[in-house]
């Protein structure tokens, strides 16, 4: 679809109660994804939308979902009207908070369901589900825990939303999603939102959606206000380089991304021992711990948040000064999500990436995606060891014919690559 952006939300056919909520929040003009998605959903179409975090996609499905519920509100039958499935508890909470704000002038009720809760929380969730809540925002595992017990009322479900479908597949939830679909009535409207559209997502859409309208919002490049820098380092140099950057940076709100939970934990402990005000954020923390860390960070009482990619999508923080990629993300689009945490709302910010010798090609894919090279910085003062010289490595490969064994010596012509020795 290539419909132009509507002049304001009043042109999209939304109910007066919803428009009052938007006016109250001083939200006047829809984003491109909202302008294209809302009319299609209100027209009863299934939808597949390729749009990244930050495009306004959450409101693109919340607004028509709420509108459908309040416009065609049935007699009190206790059934869930809208089901939103998301990959993380953070995203579930964020969507629920946004729904509460948008639906302030409507009678809509909602509940987020996510893992890591105790028995009393599970019981309160069961009570809400069986007493008539209208919108459920849930992670797959926790939703299945309730569905398998047989008391979740879904006969009146009107709309299913799968948000960040690619992330759910990356996290191994595809089988859970298929199990969830089996519990749902066949007559429903289904929407799928995904930042990327790999073949596996396409295959899933065939199983879930019926003649969907397709919308694609191009991946946004990092904002002009982001000063992107890259340090080409050996792994053993990262810690010293990081400490130097943190000591000399005036940034008061910093996120450091690392790829694995164990690396996040170790890096946070290392920084704490070196006197930095830092905490870790990863999926192994209890929900109360995660909420406490995020609240402290938002209130600027915590300077450095060391996190996995759970923060790059699904956490909305506008005033981050510095983002550091402790490693190169495997997916180039994850780089855009990480870097997009800074320089939001027309602010300035800095994004630094450490690139080791094995990640040069991956970083090249990132530069190809964003359309320009990221400036390479000299090693900070005090960083031990030699500077990495890709030119020297290229010459070394040329002298050795490009063949190297694990011991670093050239492999003779005709030598076996692997296998038992005689």
Question: Tokens in use for 220?
Answer: 């946004």
29 contact partners, CB below 8 Å, separation of at least 6: 5, 6, 7, 8, 9
Decide if 296 is inside a domain: yes
Q: Which domain holds residue 277?
A: 226-384
* Same domain (yes/no): 41, 105: yes
Task: Of 26-35, 111-120, 313-322, 329-338, give the lowest mean pLDDT range.
Answer: 313-322
- Any idea which residue has 């039958």 for tokens? 77
Is the pLDDT reported for residue 173 higher than 80?
Answer: yes
pLDDT at 325 (0 to 100)? 95
- pLDDT tens for each residue of 58-80: 999 999 999 999 887 665 578 89
pLDDT category, 162, cuts 50, 70, 90?
very high
Per DSSP, the residues of 271-322 read HHHTT--EEEE-TTS-HHHHHHHHHHHHTTS--EEEE-TTTTTT---S-B-E
pLDDT at 383: 72
Higher pLDDT, 317 or 396: 317
| 339 pLDDT higher than 90 | no
The predicted model gives 176-184 an average pLDDT of: 95
* Weakest-pLDDT range from 20-34, 144-158, 163-177: 20-34
Residues 360 and 256 in one domain: yes
How many folded domains does the chain comprise?
2
Q: 83: pLDDT confidence band, cut at 50, 70 and 90?
A: very high
Task: Tell me the C-alpha distance between 390 and 361, whole Å.
Answer: 12
Same domain, 208 and 109: yes
Cα torsion through 69, 179, 196, 9, rounded to 10: 0
**Whether residue 240 sits in one domain with residue 186:** no
Q: Are residues 260 and 354 in the same domain?
A: yes
* CATH classification of the domain holding 116: 3.40.50.300
H or E element, residue 59: helix 57-71
pLDDT digits (tens, 9 = 90+) for 192-206: 998 878 888 888 898
Domain assignment present for residue 126? The answer is: yes
pLDDT-based confidence at 330, cuts 50/70/90? confident
Q: What is the pLDDT of residue 404?
A: 38
- Within a domain: residue 393? no
Predicted model pTM: 0.67
Q: What is the pLDDT of residue 288?
A: 77
DSSP class of 213: E
Which pLDDT score, from 0 to 100, does residue 180 have?
Answer: 96
- pLDDT, position 377: 92
Whether 167 and 297 map to the same domain: the answer is no
Residue in 130, 173, 175, 172 with CA at minimum distance from that of residue 153: 130
Q: Looking at the structure, tell me whether residues 327 and 268 fall in a common domain.
A: yes
Q: Are residues 202 and 304 in the same domain?
A: no
Q: What is the mean pLDDT of residues 6-20?
A: 83
Q: At what angle do helices 57-71 and 16-24 cross, to 10 degrees?
A: 140
Question: Are 207 and 312 members of one domain?
Answer: no
pLDDT higher than 70, residue 410: no
How many angstroms separate the Cα of 241 from the Cα of each of 172, 184, 248, 269, 383?
Answer: 35, 52, 11, 17, 6
Final residue in a domain of this structure, among 167, 185, 216:
216
Q: In terms of domains, do 74 and 179 share one? A: yes
Least confident piece of the model among 223-227, 291-295, 392-396? 392-396
Domain co-membership, 272 together with 376 = yes
Other Cβ atoms closer than 10 A to 389: 11
pLDDT for residue 332:
81
The pLDDT value given to residue 2: 44
Does the pLDDT of residue 267 top 80, yes or no? yes
Count of all residues that appear for the chain in the document: 422
Compute the average pLDDT of residues 276-284.
88
- Residue 417: pLDDT band (50, 70, 90) is very low
Assigned domain for 401 exists: no
Q: Is residue 147 part of a domain?
A: yes
Quickly state the pLDDT bin for 329 (edges 50, 70, 90). Answer: confident
pLDDT at 54: 65
Average pLDDT estimate for 274-292: 85
Has residue 82 been placed in a domain? yes
What is the structure's pLDDT at 416? 37
| Same domain, residue pair 91 and 132 | yes
């Amino acid at each position: 679809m290539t419909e132009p952006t509507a002049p304001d939300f009043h042109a999209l056919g939304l109910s007066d109660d919803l428009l009052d909520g938007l006016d109250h929040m001083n939200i006047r003009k829809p984003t491109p994804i909202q302008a294209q998605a809302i009319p299609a959903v209100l027209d009863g179409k299934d939808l597949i939308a390729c749009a990244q975090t930050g495009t306004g996609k959450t409101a693109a499905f919340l607004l028509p979902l709420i509108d459908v519920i309040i416009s065609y509100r049935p007699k009190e039958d206790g059934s869930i009207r809208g089901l939103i499935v998301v990959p993380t508890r953070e995203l579930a909470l964020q969507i629920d908070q946004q729904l509460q704000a948008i639906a302030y002038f409507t009678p809509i009720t909602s509940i987020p369901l996510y893992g890591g809760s105790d028995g009393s929380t599970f019981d309160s969730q069961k009570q809400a589900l069986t007493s008539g809540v209208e919108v459920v925002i849930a992670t797959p595992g926790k939703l299945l825990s309730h569905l398998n017990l047989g008391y979740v009322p879904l006969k009146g479900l009107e709309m299913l939303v799968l948000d960040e479908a690619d992330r759910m597949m990356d996290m191994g939830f595809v089988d859970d999603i298929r199990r969830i679909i089996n519990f749902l009535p066949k007559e429903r409207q289904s929407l799928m939102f995904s930042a990327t559209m790999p073949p596996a997502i396409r295959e899933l859409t065939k199983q879930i959606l019926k003649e969907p309208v397709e919308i694609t919002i191009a991946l946004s490049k990092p904002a002009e206000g982001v000063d992107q820098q890259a340090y080409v380092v050996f792994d053993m140099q990262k810690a010293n380089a990081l400490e130097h950057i943190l000591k000399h940076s005036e940034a008061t709100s910093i996120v450091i991304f690392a790829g694995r939970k164990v690396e996040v934990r170790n890096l946070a402990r290392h920084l704490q021992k070196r006197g930095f005000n830092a905490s870790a954020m990863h999926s192994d923390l209890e929900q109360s711990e995660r909420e406490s860390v995020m609240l402290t960070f938002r209130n600027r009482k915590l300077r450095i948040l060391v996190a996995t990619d759970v923060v790059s999508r699904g956490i909305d923080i506008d005033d981050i000064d510095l983002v550091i990629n402790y490693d190169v993300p495997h997916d180039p689009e994850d780089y855009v999500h990480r870097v997009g945490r800074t320089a939001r709302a027309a602010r300035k910010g800095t994004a630094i990436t450490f690139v080791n010798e094995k990640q040069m090609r991956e970083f090249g894919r990132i530069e190809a995606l964003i359309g320009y090279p990221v400036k390479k910085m000299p090693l900070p003062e005090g960083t031990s060891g030699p500077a990495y010289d890709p030119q020297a490595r290229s010459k070394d490969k040329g002298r050795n014919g490009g063949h190297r064994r694990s011991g670093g010596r050239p492999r003779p012509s005709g030598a076996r690559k692997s296998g038992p020795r005689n």
